[in-house]
Chains A and B, each alone.
Chain A
Amino acid sequence: MLFGQANRLSNLSQFLSISVTLVTGIVLIYLAILLGGGNPGAAATALVSGSLSGSYSQAETLIRACPLLLAGLGLAVAFRAGVWNIGAEGQIYMGALAVTALASQLGSLPALFAVPLAFFVAFISGGFWAFIAAFLRTRRGVQEVISTIMLNFLAIQIVSAAVHGPLREPTGQFPYSDTIGTSLILARLVPPTRFHTGVILAMVIALVVWVMLFRTLWGFKVRTVGNSPEAATHSGISIERTIWGAMFVSGGLSGLAGAIELMGVTHILFENFSPGYGYTAIAVALLGGLHPVGIVASGLLFGALQAGASAMQRDAGISEVIVLVVQGIIIFSVALQTARALRKKAALKARAEAEV
């Protein structure tokens, strides 16, 4: 009874503080647009029409949500294990690179084999890239925050070298790869929009991640290591192996995000292939409460924001990087919520102990 009330109360206050942060965010962005010499009204119209009105805009929202929620799911797995994987960006690049590198071999297979094989290769590639940071953390004591960021820069340079060198398109004129084979291209379901099968797959993967995190022993281990490493050690869970596994899956999901973006949207690999999806995914994972259902919702929200921001840049002349300011504000507000909730929990615990 009491618990129910407390829960409802905390839900209400959480709702209130999220609203306050959102309103503050909107006011700040309004000011930033004015300062930048733009017209906020036109910007807002472009933002909404670019993300929600008409099937083309709606499809744009969905295809942009796809890599965000996949990478966001991956980050949630790492964050839940207590590992601050900031490296989704690099893992996305490595996933897309692996598929592009094998595109000529895979492309000659029928789609039934080529597509799953491509996903597998991308998962391994992204997973391996994240595993480097996990290994460096458990064996060499390297903070993963720094190592994953360094690995991002490395991955971006590797892709750049690849598309300027061995993977350059056959005429050798432009620094991008050849178009991947038709059997690797994910079908577009509602032409002429760019809505592709990868979006549906991403939703299925969200369900799989939910099962893995909350219905398997592996998920229990991951969450225990993240919540309380001491408790994990006491109950005989290997922290090292759990962190390795969580990071491999985390990077694997981002690798998959890269593969699906390549196979569903761009069909070629190039420099700046990802417009910061891996960093946006941090905000997606945190806003989604590190829970697959929440991440699907926040992934859709950010997909809409990005689709709308592109329209805003085109129609209202406001740089789409403004979305990054929104992301930052959301990250701050989620960090504040979490801290407040933790303090409330600690205070309740202290009171309970005092009463005993």
Chain B
Amino acid sequence: MTGFEDFLAGAVRLSAPIILAALGEVIVQRSGVINIGIEGTMLAGAFFGFLVAFQTGNPMLGVFASLGAGVAIGIIFALLTVIQKANQIVVGTGLNIAMLGLTGVLLRGIFEADANLGIQPIGVWNWPILSSFPVLGKAFFSQSALVYVSGAIAIGIWIFLRSRYGLGLRACGSNPEAADAAGVKVDAIRFGAVVFGAALAGLAGAYLSLVQTNTFSENMTSGRGFIALAVVIFGRWSPIGVVAASLIFGIANQAQFWMQARGSSLDFLGITAQVPYQFFLALPYLITLFVLAFFSGKYRGPAAIGKPYVRSS
């Protein structure tokens, strides 16, 4: 069964950055804001995390740099959209483009070329006893600390959303007028939610450059931020749902690697078909489209999502 255990552990590893980014976006969207700039935020998190880890030789400092990059970008996004009421989709798109450029320029400027510079990646942390459990032990108890952190954040968000403060945040997303009338500071809460979400996107980036790989390459997020956005919808804006949806994506993605490794010819009922490797590369995006097509439908999420709140008086 070790093959299967490794398969599951790999699936959890692949889903971790999506879990982190999507959990942040749950809080953002529940407060009534949609930040499609998390792709660019993840990329910046991955870059600045790698930069600091490389310069200091300490990957944990890199993780804090990723968080810092996320917070800084979150503040910019919130200033533009929550305070200045600029269109969230437009600003998010601008963010993605700008971060692709910024990380590219800095990478080539600081590290000369697309350097294959590596750092010591953050290793796994085995839980005593639990990690030797059959089947799921390796998947859930022999991972990097960031995976455990994301699990803790998921539980924290689940509790938070049920608290008094969580109620206030949800009111900003479903009925900001009523929230305002009840004395909730809508813009302040949305500002905080955006910064929190961007910080988690930065952390997701740290996972990519400091845990999953040990280097940074241009555009290394390659759409994971957008997949996280789809996961928020698929997971019905709930932290538990988001974790489950991300795990499904992780399993599909791991299956894709596994099939790629087996070779591009598939034997099925005596028919041998040549499958181009691009099919496997395209699979996560194809799955995202199908998931969205079949799970978007009736429940469209928080009612005030994407609409800046402006007092009418």
Contact = CB atoms under 8 A, between A and B. Distances in A.
B183 interface: no
Contacts of A141: 296-298, 300
Interface residues of A, number: 54
A150 B229 CA distance: 11
B116 interface: no
Interface string B267-302: 000000000101101100110110011101110100
7 contacts: A32-B105, A36-B105, A151-B289, A153-B223, A321-B108, A329-B94, A335-B80
Contacts of A319: 104-105, 107-109
A116 B136 CA distance: 60
Nearest to B40: A328
A151 B108 CA distance: 29
A32 B90 contact: no
Contacts of A38: 109
Contacts of B109: 32-33, 35-38, 318-319
Contacts of B285: 150, 153-154, 157
B42 to A, nearest CB: 14
Nearest to A327: B97
Contacts of B93: 86, 282, 331
Given A154-B282, A282-B97, A331-B93, 10 more contacts: A36-B106, A84-B89, A157-B282, A321-B108, A324-B98, A327-B98, A331-B94, A332-B91, A332-B94, A339-B85
Most-contacted residue by chain B among A37, A145, A318 (CB, 10 A): A145
Nearest to A160: B278
Interface in A159-211: 160-161, 164-165
B110 interface: yes
A33 B105 CA distance: 8
A279 B222 CA distance: 14
Contacts of A322: 101, 104-105
Given A140-B293, A324-B104, A37 B86 contact: no
The 3 nearest A-B residue pairs measured at CB: A36-B109, A328-B98, A324-B101
A94 to B, nearest CB: 14
A286 interface: yes
A329 B282 contact: no
Given A141-B300, A324-B100, A146 B110 contact: no
A153 B110 CA distance: 29
Contacts of B233: 143, 146
Interface of A: 32-33, 35-38, 84, 86, 136, 140-143, 145-147, 149-151, 153-154, 157-158, 160-161, 164-165, 279, 282-283, 286, 318-319, 321-332, 334-336, 338-340, 342-343, 346
Contacts of A161: 276, 278-279
A149 B105 contact: no
Interface string B220-262: 0011001001100100000000000000000000000000000
Contacts of A342: 85
B292 A334 contact: no
Given A153-B282, A154-B285, A321 B226 contact: no
A343 B309 CA distance: 12
B97 A145 contact: no
Contacts of B90: 286, 331, 334-335, 338
A35 to B, nearest CB: 7
Given A283-B97, A327-B98, A164 B278 contact: yes
A160 B233 CA distance: 30
Contacts of B84: 336, 339-340
A329 B293 CA distance: 33
Contacts of B108: 36, 319, 321
A328 B276 contact: no
Nearest to A166: B276
B101 A321 contact: yes
A33 B289 CA distance: 39
B78 interface: no
A328 B104 contact: no
B310 interface: yes
B110 A37 contact: yes
B265 to A, nearest CB: 14
Given A157-B278, A335-B91, A328 B106 contact: no
Most-contacted residue by chain B among A84, A141, A282 (CB, 10 A): A141
Contacts of B110: 35-37
A328 B80 contact: no
B256 to A, nearest CB: 12
Contacts of B9: none
Contact of A335 (B87, B102, B104, B297): B87
Contacts of B288: 146, 150
Most-contacted residue by chain A among B94, B107, B230 (CB, 10 A): B94
B99 interface: yes
A282 B97 CA distance: 10
Contact of A147 (B94, B95, B289): B289
A319 B85 CA distance: 33
Contacts of B106: 32, 35-36
Contact of A142 (B97, B282, B292, B308): B292
B80 A325 contact: no
B194 interface: no
